[in-house]
Amino acid sequence: MIEKLIIVTNNPLSFKNFKKSYESVYIEGDVREVYKKVRDMIHLGHRLLTHPLMSSVKPNMTPYRTICVSYEKCAKCDMESLTLMEGSIATLEKFLSMKPIPEYTEAVKYDFQVIDYDLINHALN
């Protein structure tokens, strides 16, 4: 288990479960806002530790995303992380322009929370 990292999420389940063990940033917003926050953190010197498009769930299908970034900052912006993040933002925008995220029932939203949480939990362990 990696001990020093930052979790950035708009997933209440991920935030609840990870905030005990990791520095966690909860985003009151959609996936786009999570991506923008992570991009801003990369500009400040953090590196991506998990892929923003992790999973086979299309980015316009899930309302939740959890991303891990490095706790330690680099002296300069990690261009590989930035390129990956910018590409992920472009992919998200492309998919959202074709079809926005549907309005889900609370039960379906919870299912998406579990999927997102489980992916990151497995990545960390």
28-47 residue pLDDT tens: 999 999 999 999 999 999 99
For 5-125, list the strands marked E by DSSP: 5-9, 23-26, 66-70
Name which of 37, 36, 43, 50 is nearest 5 in CA terms: 50
pTM, two decimal places: 0.93
45-103 residue pLDDT tens: 999 999 999 887 888 999 999 999 999 998 899 999 999 999 999 999 999 999 999 99
Residue 125: is its pLDDT beyond 70?
yes
SS3 assignment, position 49: coil
User: Quick one: tokens of 115?
Assistant: 């999927």
Domain extents for the chain? 5-124
Q: How far apart are CA 58 and CA 20, in angstroms?
A: 29
pLDDT at res. 2: 60
